[in-house]
A = this chain, B = another copy of it.
Amino acid sequence: MKIEYGMALWEGIPCLQVSQKRLEEFTPKLWKAQEWLEDLCNKGEVGFMDLPFQDPAYIVELGEKVRDRSQHFVLIGIGGSSLGAETLFHALKGPRHNDHPHRDGPTFHVLDNVDPVKTAEILSSIDPGKTCFCVVSKSGSTAESMANFLVSLELVEKTVGRDKAREQIIFITDPEKGSLRELAREEGYRALEVPPNVGGRFSVLSAVGLFPAAVLGLDVKALLAGAARALEACKTRDPETNPAWVIAGLHYLHNTLEGRSISVMMAYHERLATFTDWYRQLWAESLGKEGKGQTPVKAVGTVDQHSQIQLYNDGPKDKIITFLQVERFARDVRIPPLYQDRPALSYLGGHTLGELLNSELVGTASALAKKGVPSLVVTLPRVDEEVMGKLFMVYEMATALSGYLYGINPFDQPGVEEGKRLTYGLMGREGFQEKGREAREIWEKRRGARVSL
């Protein structure tokens, strides 16, 4: 894995203010950021950096058991409780896994929303008696996941009875607190742990991501080894060898010096599109605080060349782009040399789709550079567990270090609480009546102006 960023610097694009020198001048901040983070880690307040060194034996063993015994696997979680596993699933199994005629292991489904049509369709596509349901919620009170849990529980109980239902449900939750932990204690559900000092969006390398990975038959050890290797690099104090520093420093400088308030991550491989969703959560929820932060935007090449590139090239100069490039695809497809007499078709024959895809990346990045739009290129030799482990850790470390640069706490999310309280009120949860009234009053204001058709 490498990160090339000559096109995000003045040396490569002379209209930029961010230069190698500026990044170097900024380096003492790196040391302070590292110290701050190590200190949080040593005090036990922040735990994601410990995860690569855990022993995953129990998680893997349970995962393999479920893999052997289940025809279907339904992950119930939302945000940080599902995005890591979904990223691994899409990157390493792909969206057509469930239809694959020679699939080994269970089908994989995610109930990450309370969209009734989605939940109904997923639950009616599985055999409830042959399904493992994994409910992930650190707090044990996430409304969406609790609702999908109750719906699923009723379905399984109706199919196999109360006791057997409990064998088919596994929780991943706080080791001590919350209603899922209580239920595990009192009703005999099995439960894995989310370490208390690991927040949802930093939890992919805990049981939250590893257990589903094991159910899918992925190489959990390689994932952790990749993360460990990346962590080592991200702990160096040399900006020239520290990938997290490069990402954090460049994004911070482009944001604060040049007003680049949008960070686009554009994946030139559809298998990595869900990684950009994972990144979106990490970057937005960690850094969007106190009026600061950068809006992360998901893009997919080549598709979004025909959707967003007009804007990126000629619109406001408010973006920094990260291209994800893959060197070797799991499969490639040769374009046949048909219609060699037609110039709009003939040049394609003999190339592969992979070559075309990566040439489009080069063409797009070069056109953007000509317009003064800065970009980083993250190149992955291939997509496998080790590389995914590296990617996760590099971006987690980049996000943590960015928190220090912005002077905010990247590990909390105070701005999501009020919406939850207002929703509790609307749903009639005890103790939140006043919030329900408040929400209805504010919501009424939307009617102040309207148009119907």
Contacts and interface: CB of A to CB of B under 8 A. Distances in A.
A335 to B, nearest CB: 5
Given A143-B348, A419-B363, A439-B366, A4 B329 contact: no
B353 A12 contact: no
B291 A347 contact: no
A317 B288 CA distance: 11
A295 interface: yes
Contacts of A83: 307
Contacts of A25: none
Given A310-B288, A364-B419, A429-B343, A144 B450 contact: no
A163 interface: no
A9 B449 CA distance: 9
Interface residues of A, number: 170
A54 interface: no
Contact of A447 (B6, B141, B241): B6
A233 interface: yes
A359 B440 CA distance: 10
A311 B295 contact: yes
A270 B117 contact: yes
Contacts of A12: 445-446, 448-449
Contacts of A442: 7, 365-366, 369-370
A95 B342 CA distance: 37
A338 interface: yes
A197 B439 CA distance: 47
A150 B305 CA distance: 21
Interface stretch (A30-38, A59-67, A216-224, A420-428): A420-428
A368 B415 CA distance: 10
Contacts of A425: 363
B336 A150 contact: yes
B336 A311 contact: no
Contacts of A334: 151
Most buried by B among A240, A242, A363: A363
Given A96-B121, A96-B125, A182 B311 contact: no
Contacts of A450: 2-6
A429 B351 CA distance: 12
Interface string A434-448: 000011101101111
A368 to B, nearest CB: 8
Nearest to A383: B117
A349 B150 contact: yes
A290 B302 contact: no
Contact of A153 (B269, B309, B338, B342): B338
Nearest to A3: B451
Contact of A314 (B179, B183, B414): B414
Given A2-B452, A366-B439, 8 more contacts: A12-B448, A78-B306, A114-B353, A117-B329, A285-B311, A288-B312, A364-B419, A364-B422
Interface pairs A-B: 4 shortest CB-CB: A79-B306, A288-B311, A6-B448, A363-B423
